[in-house]
Chains A and B, each alone.
Chain A
């Protein structure tokens, strides 16, 4: 029986904004199809990577937009805690991704 834990084979590395956008859309699509688990296992790694990328954007003087995107990341655990996978997909696809795109310019 395999136990569930954070996957160790997902390297924690800063992703570029386009990579983060692709990853967020990928996770959202799986959530909408009920294939949540494999991608949810990667959600922690995704959030950590997004925090690193967005933190770096704040330091580069793109504060407000990056702060907005960081705020969106804060919504994700609440959806996860109540197993509200469609709301989680909405938060990723319709709030975080637009914030990341705004940051891209």
Chain B
């Protein structure tokens, strides 16, 4: 990083400069970059931002922004914060994408790298930019020839990107698609970071499971076991409760045509409703799992399929048959480290040769901020800092990073298999999964000739 360049590019508040005059000169510089953007900023109404936007000097004297009750940049040292955020873009990147200009600190931090030949900037909110442009001198940044504003109608997240995370929450609807992609990417990074923190626990489980249950057969041996059946994969989300009567009818009338795979989080509500799954998948390292399994009458007729990461007490408590996902063998090789029992169940359903898939209770979020009735551990209502994801049928719902990472992995898997494996996602109010048909459970059963609504 070139310190001199950073100093010259860093945004400053100009004392004594009337806001209207500063806005005019910034808009002129903006017009030279992107006339349409300049017009939009000039016409923007800052009062439309809930609770208003204010720009003021941080403790270091550099400009910072607050929007309503939310701090957008550090109130102490926004430049140091921007240098940290710039670290998200690899040092050797020649080109990068910046989501949201904010007060300009992150753009300055990136452009201070002499190796960066182009910085594509996508402003997320014209009203915020107007307030910034009336308080902060943006001309050194706007006049840098490497800075270009993104003009595409539907830009994609194809470059290494950096973002001021709180600005993403203020994105206008027209950039909602790329904002959602960025939030997904951040969720996957956060999920990995969470997983990394658990690695010592996972390793301990792996060793202990090898010692205690090393003789369990490999789940790969289940290939083709249920050829032509419909796979009903049940997760423990809030929507499961409404599906239980239909699941009962299905188990009574179509037991031979349907194979029921439940995740570790679905077994408790299913057993409470008198529904015994054929298979139960376990992949979580959550230490409360043995407690949950210990409090229900475990069905001896159900088969457990587990990864090496689960607490050894889970297979130890199981009364029925057990299969372990061997780390070196397909289909579990890529799943041996997954924490998602849902993904494991879907991959196994395909591996077993089933002819169609119904996903039930896979909300992958917290509809209405609700946690499921039978949650493991000490469930909390959806946290205000959770990310929002698109919901089935429109709208949004809060989701944790792990739920988002699972949804993306599920989408990627289904994308490869949907051509000859019809899939239905039946979780009213749950997260939208691209690919499968989203419909009520009754409609999916009707389409597969398994009864109807």
Would you call B193 and A1 a contact (CB within 8 A)? no
User: In the complex, what residue of chain A is closest to B286 when comparing beta carbons?
Assistant: A2
| Distance of A26 Cα from B427 Cα, bound (Å) | 37
Would you call B193 and A34 a contact (CB within 8 A)? no
User: In the complex, what residue of chain A is closest to B187 when comparing beta carbons?
Assistant: A37
Which segment of B26-34, B68-76, B218-226 sits at the interface?
A: B68-76
Partner of B75, one of A35, A81, A87: A87
Does B236 count as interface, using CB distance less than 8 angstroms? yes
Does B445 count as interface, using CB distance less than 8 angstroms? no
Please give, as numbers and ranges, the residues of chain B lying within 8 Å of A4 by CB-CB distance: 379-380, 383, 400
Would you call B287 and A83 a contact (CB within 8 A)? no
**How many residues in A have their beta carbons less than 8 Å from beta carbons of B?**
31
Per the 8 Å Cβ criterion, residues 1-39 of A in contact with B are 1-6, 8-9, 29-30, 32-38
Please give, as numbers and ranges, the residues of chain A lying within 8 Å of B400 by CB-CB distance: 2, 4, 37
Question: Given contacts A32-B85, A38-B197, are A2 and B380 in contact (CB under 8 A)?
Answer: no
Would you call B384 and A34 a contact (CB within 8 A)? no
Does A89 count as interface, using CB distance less than 8 angstroms? yes
Please give, as numbers and ranges, the residues of chain B lying within 8 Å of A30 by CB-CB distance: 193
Does B298 count as interface, using CB distance less than 8 angstroms? no
Does A93 count as interface, using CB distance less than 8 angstroms? yes
Would you call B377 and A3 a contact (CB within 8 A)? yes
Would you call A87 and B380 a contact (CB within 8 A)? no
Which segment of B42-50, B401-409, B416-424 sits at the interface?
A: B401-409
Please give, as numbers and ranges, the residues of chain A lying within 8 Å of B406 by CB-CB distance: 1
- Binary flags per residue of B274-296, CB closer than 8 Å to A gives 1, else 0: 00000000001011100000000
Would you call A33 and B165 a contact (CB within 8 A)? yes
Please give, as numbers and ranges, the residues of chain B lying within 8 Å of A93 by CB-CB distance: 76
Please give, as numbers and ranges, the residues of chain A lying within 8 Å of B376 by CB-CB distance: 2-3, 5
Would you call B265 and A38 a contact (CB within 8 A)? no
Please give, as numbers and ranges, the residues of chain A lying within 8 Å of B339 by CB-CB distance: 2
Does A40 count as interface, using CB distance less than 8 angstroms? yes
Would you call B88 and A33 a contact (CB within 8 A)? yes
Question: Given contacts A9-B287, A94-B76, are A38 and B401 in contact (CB under 8 A)?
Answer: yes
Q: A94 → chain B, closest Cβ, in Å?
A: 4
Q: A27 → chain B, closest Cβ, in Å?
A: 12
| Most chain A C-beta atoms within 10 Å of own C-beta, residue among B73, B339, B371, B402 | B402
Does B57 count as interface, using CB distance less than 8 angstroms? no
Question: Given contacts A1-B236, A1-B265, A32-B74, are A41 and B194 in contact (CB under 8 A)?
Answer: yes
| Distance of A84 Cα from B169 Cα, bound (Å) | 11
- Binary flags per residue of A63-105, CB closer than 8 Å to B gives 1, else 0: 0000000000000000011111111011001100000000000
Would you call A33 and B342 a contact (CB within 8 A)? no
Would you call A1 and B384 a contact (CB within 8 A)? no
Would you call A1 and B385 a contact (CB within 8 A)? no
Q: B163 → chain A, closest Cβ, in Å?
A: 7
Please give, as numbers and ranges, the residues of chain A lying within 8 Å of B402 by CB-CB distance: 2
- Binary flags per residue of B393-404, CB closer than 8 Å to A gives 1, else 0: 000000011110
Would you call A33 and B84 a contact (CB within 8 A)? yes
| Distance of A1 Cα from B377 Cα, bound (Å) | 13
Does B362 count as interface, using CB distance less than 8 angstroms? yes
Q: B68 → chain A, closest Cβ, in Å?
A: 9
Interface residues of B (CB under 8 A from A): 59, 69-77, 81, 84-85, 88, 163, 165-166, 168, 186-187, 189-191, 193-194, 197-198, 201, 235-237, 263, 265, 284, 286-288, 339-340, 342, 362-364, 371-372, 375-380, 383-386, 400-403, 406
Q: Which 8 A-B pairs have the closest CB atoms?
A: A34-B165, A5-B377, A38-B194, A83-B384, A86-B71, A3-B375, A87-B71, A5-B378
22 intermolecular pairs with C-beta atoms under 8 Å apart: A1-B236, A1-B403, A3-B265, A3-B377, A5-B379, A9-B201, A32-B74, A33-B88, A34-B168, A35-B186, A36-B385, A37-B190, A37-B385, A37-B400, A84-B69, A86-B165, A86-B166, A87-B71, A89-B74, A89-B81, A90-B75, A93-B76
